[in-house]
Chains A and B, each alone.
Chain A
Amino acid sequence: MGRKVGIEVSIAAAEAVGLCDADVVAAYPITPQTHVVEHLADLVADGHLDAEFVPVESEHSAMSVCCGSAAVGARTFTATAAQGLALMAEIVYIAASMRLPVVMFLSNRALSAPLSIWNDHSDTMMVRDSGWIQVFCENGQEVYDSIFHSFRVAEDPAVSLPVMINVDGFTLTHVIEPIEMWTKEMAGKYLPRFKPVNSLYPDRPTTMGAFAVPEIFAEQKMAHDHALKNSMPVILKAWDELAELTGRKYVPVEAYKTEGAETLIFAMGTICETASLAVDRMREQGKKVGLVKLRLWRPLPMDELRQLLGKAKDVVVLDRSISMGGASAPVTSEIRALMYHERQRPKIHCVVAGLGGRDVTPLDVEKMVDMALTETSYDYHFYGIRG
């Protein structure tokens, strides 16, 4: 078992990439992802990590390099945030559709404008439908462990898909937490050598990224959708083996004090810790409130969610982004769609909060729940907006 050290989460994530012995790191620095890339550059420059560090001129190039390196069978990592993700978005879709197992650390940050460097989920929701495996992290240990898990899942021949690790900018990337580090032996045991399903190699020529005519395009898309959904057993098995190795058990969706709860808060990312404190206080007040924390956003653990949410009267979704001009916010629309055909379904409330780094305290979460439960319109609400 590794040592427990106090370390900045971004630095720990970079250390994890080092232990995974990544072959190629291609990234462009952008706040609040910078520390991850800087530390990886240090690891390579100091000879601790034998990798090709490609300091590209843009995020579009970063993901393009990642596609190329994953295509030749190199273990590939990148990291970005907000505007960087927007610039690389074209290739983000291509990486997934070409089934290239890139691992990306996404330090979640609000999309401009107005220009903001602070945290929300508008960047990641932009590529929600890109076909990547997408996880959200609540604390530093989870981010650190996710790096190993992500390489393991992405490169599994039965999966061969890229994985996006969502890490809330600043509120998680820049905090110093006690993290139990892995040893080189643990990483070696957990992570087999990457053997790509298909690889660019002269002895066995293949064409990657070819065009598809209408007769075959939709079949490709359906195959991709199934591949993403079928990655679930591999994701679960990799989490089980991670638990055997570290004693820490991760699951796609976690229930906190949901026993007998009439109202469930639904959230993703660091806001879950805040919400859990709010749940503690509301439980003390005798309110039947629980929390559902979603870790695995894609593929969505639909059965577990239906089972958990179906028991409640009200579900309050804390959405960290908005869908302008739409029926509700991105996460809420998903949860509403998920529950629509259920015989017993809760009222699903949408609270848009914590945009562009606006602080959300446990007391705020309590107020959000009160606000949602007394609402008369069921579309969506902005929380804490003046005026």
Chain B
Amino acid sequence: MAKAMEEMTWQEVEAGGIISEPGNASSYHTGTWRSQRPIYIEEKCIRCWRCFIMCPDAAISADMGGNRMVWNYDYCKGCGICAYECPVDAIDLSEEGE
């Protein structure tokens, strides 16, 4: 996106609200919506990847080299599904800002 959405004036927005730049949804950081932050407990994790599969965004990925799961907090909305689904309680939810 040429300019951050929240800085665009009415003269600058695209006619009809079209998006002419493909894939620019990634420039919108939905992680700002989060009120609860998933905390990964590496020692408990059995690497089943269930969190990766269940994440409704694509905010969880596997760090193959480091043999661990990684959260992208730019897009994690803190829905808590990963923590709920984790079979070994390796994901804690903590209040944002604590």
Contacts and interface: CB of A to CB of B under 8 A. Distances in A.
Interface in B16-55: 16-20, 22, 28
A44 B14 CA distance: 36
Interface residues of A, number: 25
B15 interface: yes
Contacts of A209: 17
B21 to A, nearest CB: 9
A219 B8 contact: yes
A332 interface: no
Interface residues of B, number: 17
Nearest to B28: A213
Contacts of B12: 219
Contacts of A198: 14-16, 18, 20
Contact of B10 (A98, A205, A223): A223
B8 A206 contact: no
Contacts of B67: none
A197 B9 CA distance: 20
Interface string A257-270: 00000000000000
A99 B15 contact: yes
Interface in A203-234: 204-210, 212-213, 215-216, 218-220, 222-223, 226-227
Contacts of B10: 218-220, 222-223, 226
A97 interface: yes
A80 interface: no
A163 to B, nearest CB: 15
Contacts of B58: none
Contacts of B22: 205-207
Contact of A208 (B6, B11, B16): B16
A238 B84 CA distance: 63
Closest 4 CB pairs of A and B: A99-B16, A207-B19, A222-B10, A219-B10
Given A208-B17, A210-B17, A216-B13, 6 more contacts: A99-B15, A197-B15, A204-B20, A206-B18, A219-B9, A220-B13
